[in-house]
Amino acid sequence: MDSVITDMAILIIGLAIGGLITHRVSKRYYEKAAKELKVETEKTRKLINISLRALENADIVELTRDAAGKITGITQYGSIKESVSLSARAVPDVAKAGVSEDKTVHPKNED
């Protein structure tokens, strides 16, 4: 009976120690990840502000700001036009077509 109680006590102590180790490692990992996320978020905010100011300087958008000067809104002045050019070229698949002696390609009927 004493060995069962001893085994249960060791099991409970082991679970508690394992839980504490897991908690500390997880907490340290998440604190480090939170700091890295904060730094990355600050960098992204700066880049977005630079991009918005560039669009405002090019008279593409108008930014609205609060009393402290922080951007609170954006208004687009017109439409942005894009020019797209496409070209295509057809190349016959000789393996699927019949070729006569005069080198003319004739489609095969695949019935």
pLDDT tens, residue by residue, 20-70? 999 999 999 999 999 999 999 999 999 999 999 998 898 888 888 889 988
Q: Is the pLDDT of residue 2 over 60?
A: yes
What residue spans define the domains of the chain? 2-79
Which whole-number Å values give the CA distances from 88 to 6, 21, 60, 64, 91, in the listed order? 81, 63, 34, 45, 10
Spatial separation of the C-alpha atoms in residues 70 and 51, rounded to whole Å = 14
What are 56's strand-pairing partners?
none
Task: Give the residue from 100, 97, 99 showing the smallest Cα distance to 108.
Answer: 97
DSSP H/E element including 49: helix 2-57
For residue 60, what pLDDT is reported?
84
